[in-house]
Amino acid sequence: MFTFDTAQYYRGPNLYSSNSGILLSISDDETTTLFDWKPDREEAAYLIEFLGKSIPFSADTQLLSSPETLCEARLPLVALFSSIASLCVRDYCLQPAPVQLFGRKNNRISLFLACDHAAIGSSACEFSLALVNAIPALDRRKQDQMGSHFKKGFQKARSLAGNHALDHSTRILVRAAIQQGIPHYRMTGKGEIVQLGQGVFRKRISGVLTDDTSGVVTRLQENKPLAMQILTRNKLPVAGVQAAPSIEQAKKIAREMGFPLVVRPNAEIVGKGVTLNINSQGELDSALETAASFGHGLLVERYIQGSDYRLLVVNGSLVAATMSEKPVDVTDEIHPHNSRLAERATRILGMDVAEIIFQSPDISCSWREVPGAITGVNSNPELQSHLAANPKRELAGPMIRKMFPENSDGRIPTVGITGSVGKTTTSRMVADILSQSGKNVALSTTLGAWIGDEQVMQGDLAGGGVASLLMQDSAVEAGVFELARGGLVKYGMIIDAVDVGVMLNVHDNHLGLNGIHTREELSRVKRQVVQNARKLAVLNADDPLCLAARESITAPRTSLVSMVSDNRELLAHQRNGGMVAYLSSDASEPELHLWEGSKQIGQLSCRDIPDSWEGRNRPALINALFAMAAAHGVGVDFDTIQEALSGFKSTMKNNPGRNNYFQDLPYSLVVCQADSSYSMREAAEFAGQMDIPGQKHLLLCAVGDRPDAFIRDKARAIAGLFSSYVCTNYCELRGERQPEDVPMLIATELKACGVPEEQIQVVPSSEDAMKLAYDSLNDDDLLVDTTFSSVHFDEWLEQRGFEWLRL
């Protein structure tokens, strides 16, 4: 039988799809061969008939359109699983998509089911799996019993999906927003409130209620007699309605009105507890008992002969008219007087969106000519009845255009940055540039999350989940988000897109984790950010794996970045009119250049960037080049870019652990987080260019869950470049190693590279190693401390006596 091996839910674009959904791994145990099961034509015909009786909508699927189609499927049961799972979720998906098959390996197969919530997909998959497991052994003698069982299972799966899906009206509006390119965010788990747009442009909806729905309108919705009274005072035809707190009071009102009557609960319970055309005391008593059972008081109103029509008005214009009983679309038949009556009623009540309930014997005749009256007003109508009458009727479009006029997509400028090293500093640089341009910027990195100058969250927040939360703040005018490997692999991007996507580099510092074993596989993870860039993708022209991402980019523009001016790919791109950023050494001092084709956007001397230490801090130059290109991509002028970078300096306060250089201590100190051989080499080269009277020392560690070869590479990168080495563990042990394993591995490799044994000390405890390294310093020495941990920042500061940096 089939069983689930794994099921992982992804939000937003991911490695497997551009949609949210569940990645499933399904295996067939060794006792069966369900993957290879094939029905003959008779079996297929019977199966199609059986499923048609058991599962509504099954005839909608191409697979079940004919016996031949099912017989010809490569893997019939897998195809059937996919079709039934899609049927379970399709009505609850914002962007329904066919199930994707990712190939079979032995007795295992991987599938991706698009869905908007993990629970929706899980319920669909569990039912579909039970169904396909039963089909090969289906007993025709028990088909009625089995059919009833599967019908209930299908209904249960759909019910569970409905519990976690957006309600129907909200779903219609969000789908229309997606068509206009407007992003959406569930603000609550079950989706009662959804945000459309981002930051300062956000609008929130619940059903058809929006931010623009006033408190007065809400009160009128809750107090129907008050709304009817206002319309009556304005001489609109209204069925007299009065509220009664009790059955006795309702009977008194009924005697005064006379028959025929309508009785309904005094609550927003659409269509429930309502009795029409009451013409006798017995009918009245029964109607009052029914309505009173809802416990909200009673409404008694005059009954108007004719049919009940629901007139939907959006922004002062009638967009749909539906006969309630059928439902039947009568929008094209309604008399203009009746349309204008509904439109005027909504204007008087101040409702942008409303459903006027109108009773008339003939909707095509004017209310001035035949008896007709308004019997109710609903400021939060269900759109389902109108679409049931005419699925092609455009209802949501006018509502969306009211919130986002002139085809606005409600997006703020956003930049997403990924790579192996340099993400945090580049993100901080871009945020500073956008802030310099006058924007209130949301920033999320491995160091935390900020809105403007205020840190609003702490911890490693380099992922789309926090990015989506920050964009729910109405003060945010731009967003810069570090999107790290871990979140992309495990959860997806979560945010649907960024304006500018930046791919800095692809190194080997996370190989062996989360099923990623090669740099090529890692590049597939990181390229998601540039694949989902809407306006500009920025790539490292010096890294072949970054350049390879060009084939999957859909943004209209691409920028290439290089540390050399004669990079062949960069020059070819520039000749074709593309944007390039590069470092030039032709002048007396290195300069950063930004060009768009043959037009120079600007240039900046390394001396004007404090964080580069006059060009000696090479990583700062690389980060600045990417920041220049990204900022230009969201429309920032070069003067602002230059001003921001000229004031940027990476300190322990604003960018801790990123080549922070201290000169005001008894000794000199460089603090950095070097989690790869590349980072270690850059830190060593930076230290090598410093004019230090004393000796240069290194405190280094490696994370325990990294492969041996990776750790040895780190040691080789800095062998022979320092006077002494203190080798230790990362501040928290990871993997299955013993405490002495990692520092001994580093020390062994250093010795193999020719470093004298007396220059190497092995200290498994990271705290003891720190004390040894710092206490051994003489005045005028330099220590490069590469053991910084942003996750344990406060503890790191306290151990070194640097608490004052938090002030």
pLDDT in tens, 477-533: 999 999 998 899 999 999 999 999 999 999 877 776 767 778 899 899 999 999 999
Query: Can you name the residues that pair with 478 across neighbouring β-strands?
Result: 441
Q: Which tops the pLDDT comparison, 622 or 656?
A: 622
- Tens of pLDDT, residue by residue over 326-381, are 889 999 999 999 999 999 999 999 999 999 999 999 999 999 999 899 988 999 89
**pLDDT for the residue 591:** 92
For residues 490, 495, 498, 502, the Cα torsion angle rounded to the nearest 10 degrees is -20
**pLDDT for the residue 32:** 62
Give the whole-angstrom CA distance, residue 789 versus residue 447: 10
94-107: b or e for each residue (b if 16 or more CB lie within 10 Å)? beebebbeeeeeee
Q: In what order do the strands lie in the sheet with 108-114?
A: 2-10, 21-28, 108-114, 100-105
Phi–psi pair at 669, nearest 5 degrees? -140, 135
Q: How many CA atoms, within 13 angstroms, populate the side-chain half-sphere of residue 28?
A: 17
Q: Which residue has the tokens 């206490």?
A: 775
Cis peptide before 327 (omega within 30 of 0): yes
Give the whole-angstrom CA distance, residue 619 versus residue 622: 5
**pLDDT for the residue 570:** 98
Give percent of the chain with pLDDT exceeding 90. 56
Give the whole-angstrom CA distance, residue 560 versus residue 542: 9
Give the whole-angstrom CA distance, residue 385 versus residue 323: 9
DSSP codes of every residue in 363-389: TTS-TTTS--EEEEEESS--SHHHHHH
Q: Which residue has the tokens 């085809």?
A: 407
- Tens of pLDDT, residue by residue over 632-642, are 999 999 999 99
The two structure tokens encoding residue 222:
């809750």
Inter-residue contact 435 to 441 (CB < 8 Å):
yes
Q: Which residue has the tokens 């306290």?
A: 798
Longest dimension (CA), the chain: 108
Phi–psi pair at 280, nearest 5 degrees? -150, 165
Domain with CATH 3.30.470.20 in the chain: 216-403
Q: How many CA atoms, within 13 angstroms, populate the side-chain half-sphere of residue 667?
A: 19
Domain with CATH 3.90.190.20 in the chain: 660-806
Q: What angle do CA 173, 177, 181 make, to 5 degrees?
A: 170
- Tens of pLDDT, residue by residue over 528-572, are 999 999 999 999 999 999 999 999 999 999 999 999 999 999 999
Long-range pairs for 92-100 at CB < 8 Å and ≥24 separation? 92/116, 92/120, 92/161, 92/162, 92/164, 92/165, 92/166, 92/171, 93/120, 94/166, 94/171, 94/174, 94/175, 94/178, 94/184, 95/19, 95/175, 95/178, 97/17, 97/19, 97/21, 100/16, 100/17
**pLDDT for the residue 189:** 67
Query: Can you name the residues that pair with 785 across neighbouring β-strands?
Result: 671, 699
Inter-residue contact 220 to 227 (CB < 8 Å):
yes
Range with the poorest average pLDDT among 54-63, 381-390, 654-663:
54-63
What kind of architecture, by CATH, is found in domain 660-806? Alpha-Beta Complex (3.90)
**pLDDT for the residue 112:** 95
Instruction: Look at residues 496, 554, 469 and name the one whose alpha carbon lies nearest to residue 13.
Output: 496
The CATH H-level (homologous superfamily) assignment of domain 414-646 is Mur-like, catalytic domain (3.40.1190.10)
Grouping H, G, I as helix, E, B as strand and the rest as coil, residue 744 is helix
Q: What is 216-403's CATH number?
A: 3.30.470.20
* Cβ count near 662 (within 10 Å): 15
The two structure tokens encoding residue 391:
């699925």
**pLDDT for the residue 520:** 92
**pLDDT for the residue 62:** 80
